[in-house]
């Protein structure tokens, strides 16, 4: 470009532009670019300090290594849901048959949308607010909604870490405190606690000793001081891990992301050596093909896919924004998705191996108890000894012998049989008992561990694993809150992060009341699901239909150095939006058909009872969903009617230490200021013409190979086109 060329003047400007931005750049050739800073603003004579602008991407923190980044993404995506929700869904939805819809939806929804979030974060190098403001200013509310959802999830998720902390410290005892029911002494009389005797030792410890739970969500019962202290410990751990951003959290990820795999491997080896483990694993992988035709199974599989990968939270975008632009995020998406799925399957194997062991123990216990009933009936002549097969030995009664004896008695005493109160004691019935979430981790699994040799060791390892899994997810969740806010509003990082943790702790006191577990259910099952589906589908639409799939694919081609598979073009453009729209509709219908409720623990009955949320709780739930989604229409309306600036009135360009970064909105297609978004004039090739765009699947990439694509000034970090003007 000649040095005397001029920047096209705006018609509405009252001042004459005497020199173009390109001229200014050209005249600066003798200057040391590594130390110089250029700021150009639409306001004449405006002088802006570097500390005030902070637009240069060279100042943005970066991961110390690719391994650290991958571990961070794995730590965020692999969480508690992989350990207790995925095995429950397998158990509930047909065993091995559930893997089919999950894999299908992982391929057509999970990996494409995960790749999309990685790509936009790495390309734009901003948190979720800045990313979606860049892609489409009118949908900039997506970023704010992501922050709110992250806040909601972080509030209750850290409570679960607090529960794990409580169990972790309680595990340093032998025998484990939940292995036996407590005994109440009244003078010389000692009786077992009735609530525990009616349920089980692990169930009693969870509901009474740990949570001290009330009978319903309407009975607050005051704060549980033990869980309040554990919540304080949990937020202290999270705060220390994230206070310095990726400089501190990246180092934590080396342990928190890898340690769970060590524990899972140890549990798998130990589990496979347990009696009955094979029964549990075979039960898991025995497919019930009729479940594959159930729409509810596909809906739950889709929900699990994007919850497992962390889609819509903003954490994926935040982590990828600290990458260099030549990073191969396509490989990262496939790798992290595969590791996530592998972890879910590994955890399911461990869970079913241990539950198979537990089922055999419970089945043998059932046989012993019912055999004692039969002996009582024989001694009282209620049953004739002729009904007992001659080979049956009550002192060494096997499950096969009991099953044969049970069948004979049921056949002969057909009319009187219900009054006998005998149980069939089938192993399949024990394996079919679906336990999800906290019930799986804090009741079923803890009960199985009481039968392990050296049970305190395994208990310590298990709950330390849960703490680390939760910590990895919380680091990503906090990044989804802090990174976009710090990027957008330039608030002090450490002060804002500590303030978030303190604020979240005090709001989180809601969850450590005696009724707190019911609020956890409300937030976990309902408040985040619908907003997240809305966020994810709008992300897809913003990139594929507003920004443009062809344009986005072309930018990926230039950023990565190769053209992504055309598979992604069709997924982003058609398949993923359609699937997400169906999922959103199904979620809304599900809320309308099945009123939200929760499982309440009734102390007097020592049993769970499903209750519907009262009116005030329903109002709170609706408010939470509305608050999480409200920023999207609000920002759209404000920007549609020009009540909120989208940053199009100013032009600010900075280059420093050999790199340049822009903050530009609504520039003309032929505006010569595009020149400044490329390399320095002395080294840069001709600016990319506006007609060079990706032509869709099957087209030839216009990207030209270069021995040094990033050049001296790292153009891999540059955004070579103006965003909003092309929407």
Q: Which residues are annotated as a binding site for Na(+)?
A: 75, 78, 82, 340, 469, 473
From CA 442, how far away is CA 438, in angstroms rounded?
Answer: 6
From CA 113, how far away is CA 41, in angstroms rounded?
Answer: 36
Q: Phi/psi of residue 220, each to 5°?
A: -65, -55
Task: Transcribe 160-194 into DSSP letters.
Answer: HHHHHHHHHHHTSSSS-TTSS--EEEETTEEEE-H
DSSP reduced 3-state for 50: helix
Of 579, 581, 580, 572, residue with least CA distance to 697? 572
DSSP reduced 3-state for 654: strand
Q: Phi/psi of residue 416, each to 5°?
A: -90, -5
Q: Phi/psi of residue 530, each to 5°?
A: -65, -45
Of 478, 469, 502, 508, residue with least CA distance to 161? 469
From CA 530, how far away is CA 626, in angstroms rounded?
Answer: 10
Burial of 392 (C-beta count, 10 Å sphere; 0-12/13-18/19+): middle
From CA 483, how far away is CA 675, in angstroms rounded?
Answer: 30
Burial of 471 (C-beta count, 10 Å sphere; 0-12/13-18/19+): buried
From CA 345, how far away is CA 99, in angstroms rounded?
Answer: 9
From CA 87, how far away is CA 93, in angstroms rounded?
Answer: 10
From CA 337, how far away is CA 343, in angstroms rounded?
Answer: 10
Taking CA atoms, 21 is separated from 1, 37, 163, 652, in Å, by 12, 14, 59, 11
Two structure tokens written together for 280 = 């549990």
From CA 409, how far away is CA 32, in angstroms rounded?
Answer: 96
From CA 324, how far away is CA 249, in angstroms rounded?
Answer: 18
Strand 189-192 relative to strand 652-656, pairing: unpaired
Of 536, 483, 534, residue with least CA distance to 121? 483
CA dihedral 214, 218, 220, 226 (to 10 degrees): 40
Q: Phi/psi of residue 183, each to 5°?
A: -110, 130
Strand 597-602 relative to strand 189-192, pairing: unpaired
From CA 130, how far away is CA 483, in angstroms rounded?
Answer: 10
From CA 686, how far away is CA 177, in angstroms rounded?
Answer: 73
Taking CA atoms, 502 is separated from 21, 227, 232, 252, 664, in Å, by 46, 16, 9, 20, 36
Residues annotated within the binding site are 75, 78, 82, 340, 469, 473
Q: Are 654 and 660 in contact (CB under 8 A)?
A: yes
Q: Are 228 and 161 in contact (CB under 8 A)?
A: no
Q: How many CB atoms lie within 10 A of CB 592?
A: 8
From CA 354, how far away is CA 394, in angstroms rounded?
Answer: 28
Peptide bond before 500: cis, by omega within 30 degrees of 0? no
DSSP 223: B
Strand 607-612 relative to strand 597-602, pairing: antiparallel
Task: Transcribe 520-572 into DSSP letters.
Answer: HHHIIIIITHHHHHHHHHHHHHIIIIIIIHHHHHHHHHHHHSSPPPHHHHHII
């Amino acid at each position: 470009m000649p040095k005397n060329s001029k920047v096209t003047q705006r018609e509405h400007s009252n001042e004459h532009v005497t020199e173009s931005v390109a001229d200014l750049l050209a005249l600066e050739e003798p200057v040391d670019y590594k130390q110089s800073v250029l700021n150009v603003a639409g306001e004449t004579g405006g002088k802006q300090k570097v500390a005030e602008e902070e637009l240069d991407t060279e100042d943005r923190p970066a991961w110390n290594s690719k391994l650290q980044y991958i571990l961070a993404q794995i730590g965020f995506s692999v969480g508690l849901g992989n350990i207790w929700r995925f095995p429950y869904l397998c158990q509930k939805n047909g065993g091995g048959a559930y893997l089919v819809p999950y894999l299908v939806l992982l391929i057509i929804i999970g990996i494409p949308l995960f790749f999309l979030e990685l790509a936009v974060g790495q390309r734009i190098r901003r948190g979720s607010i800045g990313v979606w403001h860049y892609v489409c200013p009118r949908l900039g509310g997506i970023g704010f909604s992501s922050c709110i959802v992250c806040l909601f999830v972080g509030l209750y998720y850290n409570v679960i870490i607090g529960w794990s902390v409580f169990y972790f410290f309680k595990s340093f005892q032998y025998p484990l405190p939940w292995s036996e029911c407590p005994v109440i002494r009244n003078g010389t009389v000692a009786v077992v606690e009735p609530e525990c005797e009616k349920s089980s030792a692990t169930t009693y410890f969870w509901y009474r000793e740990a949570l001290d739970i009330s009978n319903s969500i309407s009975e607050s019962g005051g704060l549980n001081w033990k869980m309040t202290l554990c919540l304080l410990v949990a937020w202290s751990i999270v705060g220390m891990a994230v206070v310095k951003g990726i400089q501190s959290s990246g180092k934590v990820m080396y342990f928190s992301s890898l340690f769970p795999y060590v524990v899972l491997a140890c549990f798998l080896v130990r589990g496979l050596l347990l009696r009955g483990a094979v029964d549990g694993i075979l039960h898991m992988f025995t497919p019930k093909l009729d479940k594959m035709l159930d729409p509810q199974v596909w809906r739950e599989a889709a929900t699990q896919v994007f919850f497992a990968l962390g889609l819509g939270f903003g954490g994926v975008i935040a982590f990828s924004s600290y990458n260099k632009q030549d990073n191969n995020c396509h490989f990262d998406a496939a790798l992290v998705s595969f590791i996530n799925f592998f972890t879910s399957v590994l955890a399911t194997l461990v869970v079913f191996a241990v539950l198979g062991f537990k089922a055999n123990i419970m089945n043998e216990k059932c046989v012993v108890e019912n055999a004692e009933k039969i002996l009582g009936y024989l001694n009282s002549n209620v049953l004739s000894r002729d009904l007992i097969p001659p080979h049956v030995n009550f002192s060494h009664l096997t499950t096969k012998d009991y099953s044969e004896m049970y069948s004979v008695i049921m056949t002969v005493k057909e009319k009187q049989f219900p009054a006998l109160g005998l149980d069939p004691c089938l192993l399949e019935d024990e394996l079919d008992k679906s336990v999800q979430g906290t019930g799986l981790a804090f009741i079923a699994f803890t009960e199985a561990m009481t039968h392990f040799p050296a049970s305190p060791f395994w208990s310590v390892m298990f709950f330390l694993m849960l703490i680390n899994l939760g910590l990895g997810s919380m680091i990503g969740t906090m990044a989804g809150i802090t990174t976009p806010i710090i990027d957008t509003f330039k608030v002090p990082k450490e002060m804002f992060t500590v303030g978030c943790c303190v604020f979240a702790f005090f709001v989180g006191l809601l969850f450590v009341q005696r009724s707190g577990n019911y609020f956890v259910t409300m937030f976990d099952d309902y408040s985040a699901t619908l907003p997240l589906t809305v966020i994810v589908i709008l992300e897809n639409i913003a990139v594929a239909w507003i920004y443009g799939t062809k344009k986005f694919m072309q930018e990926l081609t230039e950023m990565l150095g190769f053209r992504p598979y055309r598979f992604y073009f069709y997924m982003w453009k058609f398949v993923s939006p359609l699937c997400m729209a169906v999922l959103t509709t199904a979620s809304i219908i599900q809320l309308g058909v099945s009123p939200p409720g929760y499982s309440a623990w009734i102390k007097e009955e020592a049993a769970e009872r499903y209750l519907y949320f009262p009116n005030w709780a329903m109002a709170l739930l609706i408010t939470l969903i509305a608050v999480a989604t409200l920023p999207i229409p609000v920002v759209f309306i404000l920007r549609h009617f020009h009540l909120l600036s989208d940053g199009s009135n100013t032009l600010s360009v900075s280059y420093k230490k050999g790199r340049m970064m822009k903050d530009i909105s609504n520039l003309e297609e032929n505006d010569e200021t595009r020149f400044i978004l490329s390399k320095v004039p002395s080294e840069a090739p001709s600016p990319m013409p506006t007609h060079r765009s990706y032509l869709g699947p099957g087209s030839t990439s216009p990207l030209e190979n270069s021995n040094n694509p990033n050049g001296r000034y790292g153009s891999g970090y540059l955004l070579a086109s103006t965003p909003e003007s092309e929407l």
